[in-house]
Structure formats: C-alpha cells, structure tokens
Structure 1
Amino acid sequence: MNSLLTPAVAGLSAGGAYAILGVCAIFTYRLVAVVNFTGAAIGAAGTFVMVALTEHGMPLFPAVIIGILAGALVGVMIGGVMTKWFSGASATTKAAVTAALLVGIIALGLRLTGGQRPHLFPDLVSGSAFRFAGVEVTWGSLLTVTLAVGLTIASDLFLARTRTGLQMRALSERPMAAELIGIRVRVLALAVWGIMGAVTAFAMMIIAPLRSPDFMSLSLLVVPALAAALIGAFRSFRAALLGGVLIGIVEGMVSALEFGARFRGVVPFLVILIVLLWSQRGARWDAAR
C-alpha cells in the first residue's frame, strides 16, 4: 500500500501547482478570451527574479515579494501587447500570438539566466506537516493544494457574486458592448493579466525546487497547466482543480516505476490527447451513423 501511496503523496505538491496554473488559465480565458500559453513563463520570470535576488544575498521574504511583483509586471506587459494590438482578433489568432510570445520569452529568459546553468531554488516551505497512513505529507504539498482550493473557490465566487466579476464576464463575452456602457475594458483586462502573473509566479516558486533548474523547464509547465484547463473544458474551475491534482499524483506514481522518471513529462501530453479524443466522441459517433 505504502509503495503506491508514497509517490502519490509526493506528487501532491506538483499537482497543486498544476491546479493553480490550470485555474489561472481558465480565469484568463473566461475574462479576456485568451488561451494563454505564456502563463508558466510569466511565473518563471518572477521566480528567477526571486532567485537572482537571493543569490545576491537578499533575505528570502522580500525576494519573494519582489518576485511576485515582477510576475505581475510581466503579466501586465504581455496583457498590454494583447489588449493594444490583438483585442479584436479571433481566439485562434490570440492563442497563436501567446505561443509566439512564449518562444520569445523562453529565448530571452535563457539568455538572461545563463541558459542551462543550474540555480539554487530555495524552499519557501519545508518539513513534514503530518503523516498519513505512514506517509509524510510536506508543508509544500499542503500549501499548494490549499492555495489551489482557495483560488478555485475565490474565482467561482468572484465571477458569480461580485459586480467587478460580472463586468469582467461582460468584457470577455461582449467587449464592444462593455466599452459602450462605460466599463473600463483595458484597465480590467490588464488587471486580470497582472493578478494571474502574480499568482503563477508564487505557484512556480513553490514547485521550482522539484524541477530542472532552468528557465525553459519551468516555462514548459504550461503543458500540464493547459491539460488541467482542458479537463475543465476551459469553463470549470473545480474540474481543473481536480485534473491538476490528479496529473501531479499520476506523475509521482509514474516516477516511482523503474525507468518511469524519464516519462513523467509524457503524462500531461497523454491527458491532453485523451481529453481531445473524448471531446470528439460525439462527432465521431454521428459520422459513424
């Protein structure tokens, strides 16, 4: 029993981070109608700002705060590009632009951070929180899952119960009409990008010590993030929460298998493939008939 439970629990920290990134992807999509491929890269930028500051002797807490603010700033910059030049573009064009921006951010990030040069990612939280069935659950795992649950609940309540949330939904669904009735479309859109940049930066700081210490590896965590968002059909925060946590657990269990660590990164791609095939089952059935 413990042979399966231990790697599953070990995957909770990554799963919580995937859930946070997936919820952020859905939040961005629902409010500014963009499938955002740059989410993890924005978070990686904030994380590496934090790492650079700690490497130069700054205490961890202020470095984390500055890193989160840097993630928010990069998010606002990306949002500025999208709202200024592509606000009226189709969803496909917007997705293509964010994919192109991802490539550019990775190239710039690798140049600024020394390419594959290893960096020391500090643990924001460390130690064992409690034991479950003889398996230690770390504070990092508990923190990421708790944040993911909190973000999911807050996102649902914000969109459904607040005036600003309703205005942002109008921004996504009818941007021209929203502007005509006096909603500050650009300001709200930039606020969404900034908030998501800050949240993803913090999530990446938690998961970074578990990953390869380079900018590209962290930026490509957009794949499990989008896999979680796909499970939620880019609509359901709760499904994305569950999907992200399950992807992390499955990755942990795969890593525990012989030679399994090499194929851990394949899990999100398989999830994306399965979800896409499942979403097309109706069309295939109709064609077969």
Structure 2
Amino acid sequence: MNGYFTAAVAGLVAGGTYALLGVCAVFTYRLVAVVDFVGAAIGTAGAFAFAMSAELGLPLWSCTLAGIVVGGVVGGAVGWIMTHWFADAAASTKAAVAVALLVGLAAIGLRITGGQHPHAFPVLFEGSAFRLAGVEITNASLATLILALLFTLGADLFLSRSHVGLQLRALSERPMAAELIGIPVRNLSLCVWVVGGAATAFALILIAPQRAPNFLALSLLVVPALAAALIGFFRDFWATLAGGIAMGVMEGITAATPGLGEYRAAVPFLVILCVLLWSQRGVRFDDAR
C-alpha cells in the first residue's frame, strides 16, 4: 500500500503539467472557441528555442526569455491563421485546422531540431524542495504545480472580474455582436493566442528535462492536456486543474501496478472515453425508456 502512495505522490509531477496545459486549453477555448490541439506543439517550439539557446552558451535567463518569446510568436502566428482565415468557420472546421497545424508544426520541429537527436534541457529550478512519502519533490516540479494553480486562479479572476475579460467572453460567445459594438475582435483573439503560447512554452521549459527530449513526444502532451480540459467540459478551470492532477496520480499508480505499468500512457485516452460516455448518459437513458 505504501508503494502505491509513493507512486501517487510521484505522479503529482506529471499531474501539474497536465493541469497547466489543460487550463491553457480551456483558456483558449473559452475565449476564441477553438479546441487547441496545437497548443502543446506551440509550447514545444518555445521549449526547444530555450534548449538550443542554452547550447549556444547564453545565460539561462536569456534562454528562458527566448523560449517564452518564441512560444508567443508561434502562438501569434497560429492565431493569425485562425482569426484571418477561419474566424467564421464551424467549430469542427477549426478543430480540423488545429490538428493539421499540430502535424505541420511537429514535422517542421522534428526537421529543425534533428528528429530524434537529443537536446540537453537545462533545469530551470535546480535542487530538491522536500521529500514526501519517500519521493523527492524537485523545485522544478513544485514550480509546475504552483504555476498551474496561479494560472488557474489568474484565468478565473481575469474572465470574471476584469473589463477585458468580459470583452473576451463576449468575443467567444457572440463574436459578430462583439464586433458590431466596437470590441477589437481580431486583436483580442491574437492576444489570447500569444498569451497561451507563451504560458505553454514556459510550462514545457519547466518539465522538458523530465520528459523524452524530442519534439514529437512533447507535442503529444496535448492528449492528457485535452483529457484534463474535458473533465472540466472546457468551461471550468478548477475542475480542469483537479482533473489534470488526478490524471497524473492515476498514471503513477498504474505504473506501480504489476502488469499495468506499460499501459500508463493509455490513462488519458480512458479518461476521455469515460467523460464522453458520462456526458451522454442522459441521452442513453432517454433512449432506454
């Protein structure tokens, strides 16, 4: 039993990452009504800009800034495509475009970064914060959890309390009406993509040293991110935060269970399936009656 508790604590590291990426996906969806399949790939571009800058011998702070800027720029580029070419498209079309951009960014990223050629990702926050249940919680892992909590709190307060946040909600829910009353729809949409790209890049800079150092592996973190967002039904930031952390804990427990460790990567897919089945329970019940 103690072994499972230790595995659950170890899973908090991944859970913080999933929660942060999931909250970024909810933030994008609530403001520009796009399921952000490409978000993790945008952040990965920033993370590799950070690593490649460090390989040139630049100071760590400037490498971090470079990674965040690249994430914001790539996010802005994706946002420009979505707002100028697909602003009035159906939600399914926007989702398909986002998937296509994910594939395109992954292909370009693999080419630029040398495919499976490993890159050294410096640890932004070195050292151990404390030990819990025999598991060493690093400063980087703790920073990821704190960042996920702060971004969740900030996004929630921003949308519910600020004037700009209310404008952005109007943009998402009634884009044509928002434009008619003078809200700068395209500029605000671009800002959302830039902020989301920068935040995702910083998150992946923090956790990249603990992951496989290739572009595709980091880009595919979009799967657990969207699973966490789905737990909050792409509306509730706090449910997404809790869902992401819980999913990391589930992965840790699965990894420690004999015979199931090699299937830990299937946890996000099972979560997505269960949430979708739960969301259709009313329809199935009505059909059964």
Q: Tell me whether the two structures share a fold, i.e. TM-score over 0.5.
A: yes
Aligned-pair CA distance for 1:64: 0.8
Ranges of 4+ aligned residues in structure 1 off by more than 6 Å:
none
SS of structure 1 residue aligned to 2:137: strand
Asked if residue 48 in structure 1 is aligned to residue 42 in structure 2, the reply is: no
Q: Secondary structure at the match of 1:136?
A: strand
Give distance in 1, aligned partners of 2:263 and 2:32: 34
8 Å CA contact retained: 1:42, 1:71:
yes
**Is the Cα–Cα contact under 8 Å of residues 211 and 218 in structure 2 kept in the other structure?**
yes
Q: Which residue of 1 is the match for residue 223 of structure 2?
A: 223
Specify the alignment match of 2:162 in structure 1: 162
Select between 6-15 and 216-225 the one with higher mean Cα deviation.
6-15
Q: Identity of paired residues, percent?
A: 62
Tell whether the 8 Å contact from 1:2 to 1:135 is kept in structure 2 after alignment. no
Q: Which residue of 2 aligns with 1:108?
A: 108
2:175 maps to 175
Is this contact kept in 1: 2:6–2:133, CA < 8 A? no
Paired with 1:210 and 1:4, the residues of 2 have a C-alpha distance of: 21
Correspondence for 1:204: 204
Q: Report the CA distance between 1:261 and its aligned residue.
A: 4.2
In structure 2, the CA distance between the partners of 1:21 and 1:56, relative to structure 1 (3 Å rule), is same
TM-score with structure 2 length normalisation?
0.97
3-state secondary structure, aligned to 1:76: helix
Aligned residues of 1:225 and 1:244 also touching (Cα < 8 A): yes
Deviation of 1:248 after TM superposition, in Å, equals 1.1
Amino acid at match of 2:138: T
Query: What corresponds to 2:185 in structure 1?
Result: 185
Tell me the CA shift for residue 150 of structure 1.
Answer: 0.9
- Return the offset for 1:185: 0.7
Contact 1:231–1:239 (CA<8 Å) still a contact in 2?
Answer: yes
Q: Which letter maps to 1:82?
A: M
Partner SS state of residue 137, structure 1: strand
Q: In the aligned structure 1, how far is the partner of 2:136 from the partner of 2:118? A: 28
State the Cα deviation string for residues 222-272 of structure 1 (Å, max 9, x = none): 000000000000000000000001111111222233454432211111110
For residue 115 of structure 2, give the secondary structure of its aligned residue in structure 1: coil
Whichever residue aligns with residue 205 of structure 1, its letter is I
Q: For 2:152, give the aligned amino acid.
A: T
2:249: which partner in 1? 249
Report the secondary structure of 2:61's partner residue. Answer: helix
Give the drift of 1:157. Answer: 0.7
Once the two structures are superposed, residues 108-147 of structure 1 have per-residue CA deviations (whole angstroms, 9 ceiling, x without a partner) of 1111111111111221123221233444322222211111
Stretch moving more, 150-159 or 121-130: 121-130
Gaps of 5+ in 1: none
Where 1:50 maps in the other structure, the secondary structure is helix
Q: Which amino acid aligns with 1:175?
A: P
Residue 22 of structure 1 is matched in structure 2 by 22
Alignment of 1:58-77 (within 5 A): 58-77=58-77
Residue number in structure 1 paired with 2:267: 267
Q: Deviations over 1:171-190 (max 9, x none)?
A: 11111111111111111000
**Partners of 2:84 and 2:142 in 1: how far apart?**
39
1:49 deviation in Å?
A: 0.4
For 2:258 and 2:117, locate their aligned partners in 1 and report how far apart those are by CA, in whole Å.
28
**CA distance in 1: counterparts of 2:276 and 2:140, whole angstroms:** 32
**d(CA) in 1 for partners of 2:280 and 2:198?**
35
Report the alpha carbon displacement of residue 279 of structure 1 after superposing the two structures with TM.
0.7
1:55-134 matches, within 5 Å, as 55-134=55-134
Q: Does 1:235 align with 2:229?
A: no
TM-score with structure 1 setting the length: 0.97
Aligned counterpart, 2:285: 285
The SS at the match of 2:36 is coil
Calculate the aligned-residue CA RMSD, in Å: 1.2
Separation in structure 1 between the aligned mates of residue 31 and residue 131 of structure 2, nearest angstrom: 40
State whether residues 72 and 195 of structure 2, in contact with CA within 8 Å, keep that contact through their aligned partners in structure 1.
yes
Question: Partners in 2 of 1:126 and 1:7 — Cα distance?
Answer: 22
Q: Which residue of 1 aligns with 2:150?
A: 150
Q: May I ask how many residue pairs the two structures share in their alignment?
A: 289
Consecutive unaligned residues in structure 2, runs of 5 or more: none
